[in-house]
Structure 1
Amino acid sequence: MKTTYSRTESVWQRMNNNEKKAVMAYGEKYKAFLDKARTERQSVNFIIEAAEKNGFKPLYDMKALHEGDKVYWNQKGKSVILAVIGKEPVKAGLKIVGSHIDAPRLDLKGNPVHEQDGLVYFRTHYYGGIKKYQWPCIPLALCGVIYTQKGKKIEVNIGMDENDPVFYITDLLIHMAQDQMKKTMAEGVTGEQLQAIIGSHAGKQEKVKDAILTLLKKTYGITEEDFTTAELELVPAMKSRDVGFDRSLIAAYGQDDRVCSYANLEALLAAKPGNKTQVALFTDKEEIGSYGNTGMMSSYFVKFVMKMLALQGSGALLDFYETMEKSEMLSGDVNSCLDPMFPEVTEKDNSSLCGYGLALTKYTGARGKAGSNDANSEFIQKVRQIFNDGGVAWQIGELGKVDQGGGGTIAFMMADWGCEVVDCGTAMLSMHSPYDLLSKADAYETYLGYKVFFESN
C-alpha cells in the first residue's frame, strides 16, 4: 500500500504501475463527463442516466425502503440526490458526500438580442465569481432550455459539436488599447461589455437582427419573446484536454466542482453497501450562495431525508434532526493549491500541492474564519484514519494566506442540522477561469477517498 500522507513525494512517486494505469483510465472517463455535462441541467441528466443504469429508482415511486434499495431525488432538473439504503435504518445516520454541479458562466439576459453597427449580440449577466477579462476571445457554446409560446420545451446545446457554430466576445487590439491598459484588471472589461456576437449577415432589405431572428424561428421555432422565459448559458466551448508531455493534468471548463461531483457519482456506484445509508448529493447554486429552490439553502434535502424516514415509519421533524446528528459528511468542493507563478498569496506549509492527493480543509471562510464550518478535530481524525486505512493519498490545504482572500462551501449549511462535516475535495490551479487545471492523480484520489468514506462505519 502506498504512503498516504506526504509533502515531499507526489502521488505519482508513490504509485505502482497498476495504480498509474487506473489513474489514466479514470481520467478518460472523467473528461468524457466534463465534455457532456457543461451545465447543471446536463449534469443532472448524466447522473440520473448513470444511476438508472445501475438500478436506482425515483424515491417517490417507493412504497417502503429496505436494505440495498437504490433511490434518487430529482430537484427540478438542476439538483439531484442518490442514496443506497444501508443495513441499519435511515434514522441511525447517513454517510453523505455533497458536491455542487453549477459553475461560473455567462447567463443570457431576459431580452438578450440586439444589433449594433451591423453586428448582432447576446447581452449577458455573469454568474458566479469570474475575472471578466478572461472571457473575451474564446469560443463559447450556448446551452440551456427555452420554451415556445405554446409551452414546448426546447433543449439547446450549440457549440460543443465540431460542426456547430460558436459565439464570441471581442476585445481591443493592443495597438488601440492604451487607455484600457491603464485600467486595473477588474476594470479592463466591464460586465456590460461581455456581449457575445451571434451573427452579422442579412439580405439587402432587412436588418441583421431581423435576419438572425428569422433564422432562429426557422431553425429552432424560437421567437424573440421566448427568450424572456428561457434559461440559457454561454459556457466555454473548449473540450477537456490532457496537459503536459506526460499527460498528468487535465485542463477543462467547470472542474469546480465537477471534479468532485464525478468522483462522488463514481464512488457511490462503486462502493460496497454499508451499515449506514450512503447519500451522494449534487446541488445547484453554490457559486451564488446556494439560494433558490435548487440550492442548499432551500428545503429539498430536508424533504428527501424525511421522505426516506417516512418510508421506514419515522416521519417527524425531530427524527430528521436526530438522523442528521448521527450523520457524517464530506463537503466535496475544490480547493486552491500552491501556484509557483503566484506564490505570494499562499502560505506554503499549509497550502495544498498539485499532485499530492485529496485535500482536507478544516475551515474555509475569510478573515477570522468568517462564514466557516471549522470541522471538529474528532471527526477529522476519523476521516484521516479512514483514508489511511483505505490507502488514499491525502493532504491538508487552506484557501490562501490569512487575510488574503477566502471562500465558502455548503459545509456550514449541513452542519447547521447537527451533521459532522469537513471540506474535502480536489486542489486545482486557475480555479474559476474558463479553463481550470488539475492533476489526474488528485482527481483519482478524490474518487478513492469518497469511496472508502461511503464504505466506512
Structure 2
Amino acid sequence: MSKRLDDLLVFLGEATSPFHAVAALTKRLKNAGFMGLEHLDDISFEAGQGYFVTANDSSIVAFRAGSGRCEEGLRMIGAHTDSPNLSIKPNPLKKRSGAHQLAVDVYGGALLNPWFDRDLSLAGRVSFENSKGELISRLIDFQRPIAIIPSLAIHLDREANKNRSINPQTDILPLIAGLPTADGSSLDWAQLLADQVALEHPNEGPVRVLDFELSLYDCQSAGIVGIDNAFLASARLDNLLSCHAGLMALLDADAEQWSLLVCNDHEEVGSTSAVGAQGPMLTDVLASITGTAAASRRLRERSTMLSVDNAHAVHPNFSDRHDEAHGPLLNHGPVVKINRNQRYATSGEGSALLRLLAERVEVPLQHFVVRSDMGCGSTIGPITAAETGIMTIDLGVPTLAMHSIRELAGAADVDFLGALLTAFYNRVA
C-alpha cells in the first residue's frame, strides 16, 4: 500500500464521529508543525508556516501562508466531516422484553438496512460538570462492541426478501444490555457515560454528565478487499476519504503557495449551521487573513475551490441507474461532477481547469451527470460558491454503497485523488 492509503486506513479508524475526525486532522497538522489558533485577530502570518482553527470541535480550517500576497488568490479544498448515522436521543434508555435498548435518531440520509446485525460502538462528545464545578466537554469513544440491532428472523416475516420496510422510530433500536444487567442491576445511562469519561480523561475526577452528542458506528475496521486488493471498504468514506486527501495534499503542497483546507460539519443535513458550509467560518477566516473587506473581496474573486465529495460509481448490478455516457468506474480516477441546475457548482471553465491539471500530472479523470429522469444530490460546493463568490468545482472519488454503514471505493483512486489535489495546490495548471 502507498503511504497515503496506509494512513487513510488508520485515520478512518480514529475518525468515528465528526468530533473525532477533527481531532485526527488536528493531530496530523500539529505533527507537521501547523499552529493552532484560538482566533485570527491581529495575527502576522509567517511565510511557509501552517495554521489552523476549529469550531465546535467538529469543523476545521487549516491553511499555509505563502510567500506572496494572499490577495492574488488562494487555492482551496473543501470537504465535510459528518456522515449519516444513528444518533442517540437525550433520554435514550428503554427497557423492553428482557433487554435495555437505546432510542436513536437518523442523522442524514442513512441507508438503514445495513445497520442490522452489525457490532456497534459509540463515540462523540460529552458535556459535564467536573470535580471543580466547571462545565467541560470531552470526546469519548467506547472502541468496542456495545450495541447491536438484530434483524427479525425470516420465519416471522416471510416477505422480508421481497418487501421489508423500516420504521426508524420502532425498528432500529439497538440492544445495549440485558435486563437486568449481568450484575443484577438496571443500566444507569448517565453513570455509564461518566465512567467512560473517567476512563478516557482521568484527570477530570468524578463528573456529573449534563448532556451529550453521541452516535453509533460500525466496529469493523477499514480494510482492503478483493483478490487483487482493488477495493477499499470502510464506514464513513463519504466524506472522510476527501478530508484525509485534502489534508495530505495540504501537507505535501509547496510552502511558497497560499493554500487552504476547510472541513465542515453538517453537510449531510443541509449545511445550515454555525459550523456548516453556510455558516460564517470560512468567510471569517478569509477576512482575517486579508485584514480588510476590500482585500477579502479581491481574494475571493481570484481564488478557486475544489469541493471534494464522493461520487456515485456505476454499480455492476444496477448499471441502468447511470447515464450511459457518464458512469464513473472504480479505480479509473476522480470524478468531475456536473449539474446545470446548480446542484453541483462546476462550470465549464472549472471542468477545463481540472482536465488540464489531470493531464499534466497523468491522473485519469471521469465525469458524472445524473440521469435526466432522476433527482440529483448536492454538496458544499454550490453553498460555498454562493456564500463566498469563489469559483468552485465539484469532484470526488467514485464510490459504491454510498450512505451505507460500509461503503466501497477503489484503492487506486486514493492516490489518484491525492496527486490531483497536490497538483492543484501547487498550481500545476
TM-score by length of 2: 0.90
Alpha-carbon shift at residue 117 of structure 1 (Å): 2.1
Alpha-carbon shift at residue 429 of structure 1 (Å): 0.8
Name the SS of the counterpart of 2:170 in structure 1.
Answer: helix
* Pairs within 5 Å for 1:348-363: 348-363=324-339
Aligned counterpart, 1:17: none
Matched, 1:243 2:225: yes
Aligned counterpart, 1:20: none
Alpha-carbon shift at residue 58 of structure 1 (Å): 2.7
Partners of 1:118 and 1:208 within 8 A in 2:
no
Name the SS of the counterpart of 2:245 in structure 1.
Answer: helix
Alpha-carbon shift at residue 242 of structure 1 (Å): 1.2
One-letter amino acid of the structure 2 residue matched with residue 328 of structure 1: T
Using the alignment, how far apart are the partners of 1:69 and 1:205 within structure 2? 55
Alpha-carbon shift at residue 362 of structure 1 (Å): 2.6
Aligned counterpart, 2:265: 284
Q: Encode CA deviations 1:243-270: one digit per residue, 9 max, x unaligned.
A: 1111121100000011111110101101
Matched, 1:122 2:93: no
* Pairs within 5 Å for 1:245-260: 245-260=227-242
Aligned counterpart, 1:148: 128
Structure 2 residue aligned with 1:378, among 349, 353, 369? 349
Matched, 1:389 2:360: yes
Using the alignment, how far apart are the partners of 1:42 and 1:128 within structure 2? 18
Matched, 1:69 2:40: no
Matched, 1:412 2:382: yes
Name the SS of the counterpart of 1:281 in structure 2.
Answer: strand
Aligned counterpart, 1:99: 79
Structure 2 residue aligned with 1:42, among 13, 16, 20? 20
Closer, same or farther in 2 for the Cα pair 1:274/1:387, shift >3 Å?
Answer: farther
Give the gaps of 5 or more residues in structure 2. Answer: 200-206
One-letter amino acid of the structure 1 residue matched with residue 146 of structure 2: V
Structure 2 residue aligned with 1:198, among 176, 181, 194? 176
Partners of 1:338 and 1:348 within 8 A in 2:
no
Name the SS of the counterpart of 1:233 in structure 2.
Answer: strand
Aligned counterpart, 2:204: none
Name the SS of the counterpart of 2:28 in structure 1.
Answer: helix
Alpha-carbon shift at residue 234 of structure 1 (Å): 0.5
Matched, 1:132 2:116: no
Alpha-carbon shift at residue 188 of structure 1 (Å): 3.5
Using the alignment, how far apart are the partners of 1:407 and 1:81 within structure 2? 24
Closer, same or farther in 2 for the Cα pair 1:94/1:343, shift >3 Å?
Answer: same
Aligned counterpart, 1:297: 278
Aligned counterpart, 1:12: none
Partners of 2:36 and 2:52 within 8 A in 1:
yes
Identity %: 22
Closer, same or farther in 2 for the Cα pair 1:88/1:214, shift >3 Å?
Answer: closer
The alignment yields a C-alpha RMSD, in angstroms, of 2.4
Partners of 1:324 and 1:419 within 8 A in 2:
yes
More helix as a share of residues: 1
Closer, same or farther in 2 for the Cα pair 1:391/1:188, shift >3 Å?
Answer: same
Aligned counterpart, 1:328: 304
Alpha-carbon shift at residue 451 of structure 1 (Å): 0.2
Name the SS of the counterpart of 1:406 in structure 2.
Answer: coil
Alpha-carbon shift at residue 166 of structure 1 (Å): 2.6
Aligned counterpart, 1:309: 290
Matched, 1:234 2:212: no
Q: Encode CA deviations 1:169-191: one digit per residue, 9 max, x unaligned.
A: 122001111365664x5x23434
Partners of 2:22 and 2:57 within 8 A in 1:
yes
Q: Encode CA deviations 1:155-179: one digit per residue, 9 max, x unaligned.
A: 3211x3xxx3431012200111136
Matched, 1:262 2:238: no
Using the alignment, how far apart are the partners of 2:361 and 2:126 within structure 1? 46
Aligned counterpart, 2:371: 401
Alpha-carbon shift at residue 425 of structure 1 (Å): 1.2
Name the SS of the counterpart of 2:325 in structure 1.
Answer: helix
Using the alignment, how far apart are the partners of 2:241 and 2:191 within structure 1? 40
Partners of 1:140 and 1:236 within 8 A in 2:
yes
Matched, 1:29 2:17: no
Closer, same or farther in 2 for the Cα pair 1:389/1:197, shift >3 Å?
Answer: same
Aligned counterpart, 1:366: none
Closer, same or farther in 2 for the Cα pair 1:280/1:174, shift >3 Å?
Answer: same
Closer, same or farther in 2 for the Cα pair 1:353/1:87, shift >3 Å?
Answer: same
Q: Encode CA deviations 1:140-167: one digit per residue, 9 max, x unaligned.
A: 1100121234434343211x3xxx3431
Q: Encode CA deviations 1:77-109: one digit per residue, 9 max, x unaligned.
A: 111111111232122211001111111111100
One-letter amino acid of the structure 2 residue matched with residue 283 of structure 1: N
Using the alignment, how far apart are the partners of 1:260 and 1:327 within structure 2? 20
Alpha-carbon shift at residue 36 of structure 1 (Å): 1.1
Q: Encode CA deviations 1:95-135: one digit per residue, 9 max, x unaligned.
A: 00111111111110011112112210111001111122221
Using the alignment, how far apart are the partners of 2:76 and 2:60 within structure 1? 13
Using the alignment, how far apart are the partners of 1:424 and 1:139 within structure 2? 32
Using the alignment, how far apart are the partners of 2:25 and 2:220 within structure 1? 22
Closer, same or farther in 2 for the Cα pair 1:402/1:201, shift >3 Å?
Answer: same
Alpha-carbon shift at residue 412 of structure 1 (Å): 0.9
Structure 1 residue aligned with 2:61, among 78, 81, 96? 81
Matched, 1:157 2:135: no
Using the alignment, how far apart are the partners of 2:312 and 2:375 within structure 1? 11
Using the alignment, how far apart are the partners of 2:193 and 2:283 within structure 1? 42
Partners of 1:135 and 1:169 within 8 A in 2:
yes
Partners of 2:52 and 2:60 within 8 A in 1:
yes
Alpha-carbon shift at residue 435 of structure 1 (Å): 0.6
Partners of 2:25 and 2:247 within 8 A in 1:
yes
Closer, same or farther in 2 for the Cα pair 1:109/1:323, shift >3 Å?
Answer: same
